[in-house]
Structure 1
Amino acid sequence: MQRHIDDTQLLDSKTRRKLEDQRRMQFRRAIEERLESQRLDREFSDYPDLIAVNYLKSAKGSARSARPAG
């Protein structure tokens, strides 16, 4: 049975710290994107009629682009 080996244990401290910082920043960006998405959801939930209008506009636009040229 194979054991899981953590590659960071084989690296020097500077490289290991750099990789940890990269992972931390990636995690932080994901949290910020999630919070931004939630904020936008809250803002748009105040205007459900705008969501419906935008949906209808996009549906019309996709129906036009789906028609064959000719």
Structure 2
Amino acid sequence: MPRHTEDAYYPSPLDTKARRKRLDERRMHFRRAIERYDEQRQLQHELDDYPELLAVSLLSVPPAVLRRNARPAR
């Protein structure tokens, strides 16, 4: 029968700190992603108020750049 050690019940402080650090890094990663998404959505909403700016910006881009950035046909 396997014996239970105190380590199973009381993890070392280093393990706890490392786990907390990983969880905090993961939480910050998600937070940054949410903030980036929100900023992009807000910027898109502001640009939607001025459709003429989009038309002007598309006219000022050379056609070669537009073709290079276009999605390939499937």
Q: TM-score, normalised by structure 1?
A: 0.67
Runs of 4+, deviation exceeding 6 Å: none
What's the counterpart of residue 17 of structure 1? 20
Aligned residues: 53
Change beyond 3 A, Cα 1:61–1:47: farther
Q: TM-score, normalised by structure 2?
A: 0.64
Question: Which residue is equivalent to 1:50?
Answer: 53
Structure 1: gaps of 5 or more residues: 1-10, 64-70
RMSD value over aligned CA atoms? 1.9
The percent identity for this pair of structures is 49
Identify unmatched segments of 5+ residues in structure 2: 1-13, 67-74
Which residue is equivalent to 1:31?
A: 34
